[in-house]
Amino acid sequence: MEFATKIKNYRRQNGWTQQVVAEKLSVSRKTISSWENGRSYPDIFMLVQLSDLYHVSLDNLLREDHEMIDNYKHDHVINAKQDRTFVISYIINVVASLYFLCHSMIGTGWINQLHPGWRMLAGILIGLMSVNIYFLLSRVEWKSMSRSTKVGAIMTFIVVLTFLLKLDTVELPKSSYQFGVGVGHGFVGALSALSIVETIWLYHQFKKRKDH
């Protein structure tokens, strides 16, 4: 018997409507309907919730539905790849954080002393680290972050940005282009602060995904 048929039968045995089950699981009625019609499958967390709700084992729910099992295997492979990507991106971001911190403290004069070829390579690496900052944000599990964590991250960003701008040793030129240079200077500061905040506040997700 397929999973969809099983959960439909269990619901009817309890005399519940789809709306009642939806309220018990804190999902929409359309979600329950989609599961019972085989259009989609619940994630692992919701599968456990269904098991508890109907007082049946997970083995009972999954048995004989090979398509559903294959679906979970496929999801597991995708999630594992996403976790590896996140871990690598986080490590790159740690390196970027150290670079941007050094940039604020000692400037970038040392780069200009390098051979042109090495300067070009350094520029490419810095550019890739900058892009990685935004890439890492796109891989964050926002739903798992509490409101207090999000507020804390925003406050940390403001504090770190203020600190970096005060710490920065770069002097802005006195010219007609000063405004544009100032905007660019502020952008680099914001990018630096964002990188450091990610290193601090995403460590928990990094550790969790690394251990998977």
SS3 call for 185: helix
pLDDT, tens digit, 9 for 90 and up, residues 116-132: 777 677 778 888 888 99
Given this model, what pLDDT does residue 147 score? 87
Q: What CATH number is given for 3-64 in this structure?
A: 1.10.260.40
pLDDT over threshold 80, residue 46: yes
Share of the chain above pLDDT 70, in %: 86
pTM of the entire predicted model: 0.64
Write the burial class of residue 62 (CB in 10 Å: 0-12 exposed, 13-18 middle, 19+ buried): middle
- Decide: 193 and 161 in contact? Cβ < 8 Å: yes
38 sits in the region (left: phi over 0; alpha: psi -120 to 50; else beta) called: left
Concatenated DSSP letters for 89-120?
HHHHHHHHHHHHHHHHHH-SHHHHTS-HHHHH
How far apart CA 192 and CA 190 sit, in angstroms, is: 5
The pLDDT of 203-211, averaged and rounded, is: 87
Q: How many CB atoms lie within 10 A of CB 133?
A: 21
For the chain, the domains span: 3-64, 78-211
pLDDT over threshold 60, residue 178: no
